[in-house]
Structure 1
Amino acid sequence: MELRQLKYFLTIAKCKSITNAAEILHISQPALSKMMKGLEEELGLTLLLRSNKSNELTDAGLIVMEYAQKIFSEIDNMTTTLNDLTNLKRGEIQIGLPPIIGSLFFPNIMANFHKEYPNIKMNVTEYGAAKVVKSVKDGELDLGVAVLPVDGRTFNIYPIVEERMKLLVHHEHRLASLKKVHLKELKDEELIFYHEDFALHDIMWKKFIESGFEPKILFKSSQWDLMSEMVAANLGVTILPESICNRVMNKRIRIIELIPITPWNLALITKKDKYLSYAGRTFIDYISKHSSSRIVYNLKL
């Protein structure tokens, strides 16, 4: 059975005449009659009661007409949905965001993206940056925000943020009056550090090793506000990205430049050779357009 046969059959049913249907379909009457005979033979049922004046539907013909109408209705719906998809009126994106990064940069971005594309659904999963990278690689997520560097052989990389790490100390700390502090000066300090599933854990650990020592970890957390408040309570020192430091308002905390410079660069990543939906590509284009390689945390789009 072909869709063309069903389409022609519906035209006959509407006209109640093979002759009139043939004129509308721009085919010869004998060819249309032959096609309908072929459909009846395939189904093993008579669909049309033929006479010189009109062609009425049999009970079987009425059933075929009903289902044919449903089939073409669904085809129309499919076409509309695909057109909406390619015109970016609808879609779905699986996004991975590290908790710290998500709260800093993405509420305004997502709110404005949703206003522009209200039928694109964004499913956000919060993972540490290391797990975001793994989940994108495994295909669990369409795209994610990662702390650079990541493997350029595996991922497409779209830079969005370029910042530096800074040192936070209590205002009565021995280093509080300095404008710059070298990592080597933190050898004997107790550090408020990051959990292992955060990319910053490995980045900063490597920096300390390069400076000649292993850091003394007092406490590990995934919450930047808790980390800064522990510094304010004079329990230790911590190192956080510039944008987070800009949100720290506690007067008991001093924020100091760190040397050597430790970059904190973020990027959207997708897995190479994996299909990315229209919605996903549009989200990347949208962020890239509004970031210019840097999303300011209080950006007003």
Structure 2
Amino acid sequence: MDIRELQHFMEVVNQKSFTKAASAIHLSQPALSKIVKKLEEELGVDLFDRSTRKLTLTDAGQVVYNQSQKLVSTLHELHALLDDLRHLPTGEIKIGIPPLIGTIVFPMIAKKFTKKHPQVTLELVELGAKRIVELVESEQVDLGIIVLPVQNPMFHIYPFVQEEFNLYIHHKHPLAQKQVVSLSELKEEPFILFSKDFSLHDRIIHECIEAGFQPKIAYESSQWDLIIELVASELGIAILPKSVYPKINNPLIRSIPISSPTPMWELGIILKKERYMSFATRELLSFLVDEEIILPSHMMKKEEAQNLPTP
């Protein structure tokens, strides 16, 4: 048994599918199944319950998965420590980030940071914010960029973007000619939301309930560009950050400000407390502070500022 076998096993668990895991790690499904079977034989236990169609861990499988996470995290930390001994900003930073946030903020960050530190590799893990929180907690990524607030005492939190939500609507819709709309005007509209794994799913529903109605959900998707295409096909309306609009090339879409009140979103970087922070990660945080991307501490809550490690 080696660490790679455990990593392959973890990928099957994370993907909840042998087929998806095999594609993600560039192996054939039979080869991956053979590796997991070999691991089971070496450990003398069944890792998966194969009596149902749904891929489910056995009790032994859960123990192996939990311990594998610790082993992989320790190995990653070993590499980070050795990189630090060389006093060079080298290595890899794994960043968990929802696709929409990646589209809006990451290209600018990556371009400037890579120019300054070309030896550091930034690896993106694109999933919904709820899943990103789990990955940061289990130390499968170095840091996460998510929609705030997040209530978890295990994290350091660096707020860095605040922005308005806008209504995205087909240009022939009766509301499309308005200069501004209120949320209450949308109570009869079919909504197109992000999937339940995304914080924006719950956030939009919360904003609608605060405005006095339960939104009618027509479609859900994990891709913001598909959401826009559904709006362009007159299948519903969407509420997305204002900065999405310049990235839309579809002339059928209008973006309209929302008032009474104006819903806002705030993004933040989260890191797990007590975890070793590599030199490369510290350099990234210092870069974000220098570029004024991370909000200065006086704009944070007092208790948050006191808990932040110094980059």
Name the CA distance, whole Å, in 1 between partners of 2:210 and 2:217: 17
Cα distance 1:272–1:213, how it changes in 2: closer, same or farther (>3 A)? same
Amino acid in the other structure paired with 2:150: V
Partner residue, 2:255: 255
Q: Structure 2: where are the runs of 5+ without partners?
A: 1-80, 296-311
Q: Structure 1: where are the runs of 5+ without partners?
A: 1-78, 295-301
Secondary structure of the corresponding residue to residue 175 of structure 1: helix
Name the CA distance, whole Å, in 2 between partners of 1:181 and 1:154: 39
Partner residue, 2:52: none
Cα distance 1:232–1:80, how it changes in 2: closer, same or farther (>3 A)? closer
Name the CA distance, whole Å, in 1 between partners of 2:276 and 2:141: 12
Cα distance 1:82–1:264, how it changes in 2: closer, same or farther (>3 A)? closer
Partner residue, 2:123: 123
* Paired residues, number: 214
* Alignment partner of 1:142 is 2:142: yes
Could you say what the CA RMSD is over the residues aligned between the two structures, in angstroms? 2.1
Cα distance 1:222–1:81, how it changes in 2: closer, same or farther (>3 A)? closer
Alpha-carbon distance, 1:129 to partner:
1.1
* Alignment partner of 1:290 is 2:266: no
Partner residue, 1:76: none
Secondary structure of the corresponding residue to residue 167 of structure 1: strand
Alpha-carbon distance, 1:266 to partner:
0.9
Partner residue, 2:273: 272
Alpha-carbon distance, 1:87 to partner:
3.6
Name the CA distance, whole Å, in 2 between partners of 1:252 and 1:99: 23
Partner residue, 2:50: none
Amino acid in the other structure paired with 2:174: R
Alpha-carbon distance, 1:169 to partner:
1.3
Name the CA distance, whole Å, in 1 between partners of 2:209 and 2:83: 55
Alpha-carbon distance, 1:152 to partner:
6.0
Partner residue, 2:47: none
Partner residue, 1:231: 231
Is contact 2:288–2:294 with CA below 8 Å preserved after alignment?
no
Secondary structure of the corresponding residue to residue 254 of structure 1: strand
Partner deviation per Cα, 1:24-63 (whole Å, 9 max, x = no partner): xxxxxxxxxxxxxxxxxxxxxxxxxxxxxxxxxxxxxxxx
Secondary structure of the corresponding residue to residue 246 of structure 1: helix
Amino acid in the other structure paired with 1:269: I
Cα distance 1:166–1:82, how it changes in 2: closer, same or farther (>3 A)? closer
Give the alignment's TM-score, normalised by structure 1.
0.66
* Alignment partner of 1:241 is 2:241: yes
Name the CA distance, whole Å, in 1 between partners of 2:237 and 2:277: 42
Partner residue, 2:96: 96
Amino acid in the other structure paired with 1:263: M
Name the CA distance, whole Å, in 1 between partners of 2:198 and 2:104: 16
Is contact 1:193–1:219 with CA below 8 Å preserved after alignment?
yes
Name the CA distance, whole Å, in 1 between partners of 2:252 and 2:118: 43
Name the CA distance, whole Å, in 2 between partners of 1:226 and 1:82: 42
Larger radius of gyration: 1
Is contact 2:93–2:142 with CA below 8 Å preserved after alignment?
yes
Amino acid in the other structure paired with 2:163: E
What percent identity do the matched residue pairs reach? 41
Partner deviation per Cα, 1:245-299 (whole Å, 9 max, x = no partner): 22224332221111211111111110122221111111122123224448xxxxx
Amino acid in the other structure paired with 1:153: P
Amino acid in the other structure paired with 1:268: I
Secondary structure of the corresponding residue to residue 257 of structure 2: strand
Is contact 2:158–2:270 with CA below 8 Å preserved after alignment?
yes
* Structure 1 runs of 4+ with >3 Å offset: 79-83, 291-294
Is contact 1:162–1:293 with CA below 8 Å preserved after alignment?
no
Name the CA distance, whole Å, in 1 between partners of 2:293 and 2:115: 21
Is contact 1:268–1:284 with CA below 8 Å preserved after alignment?
no
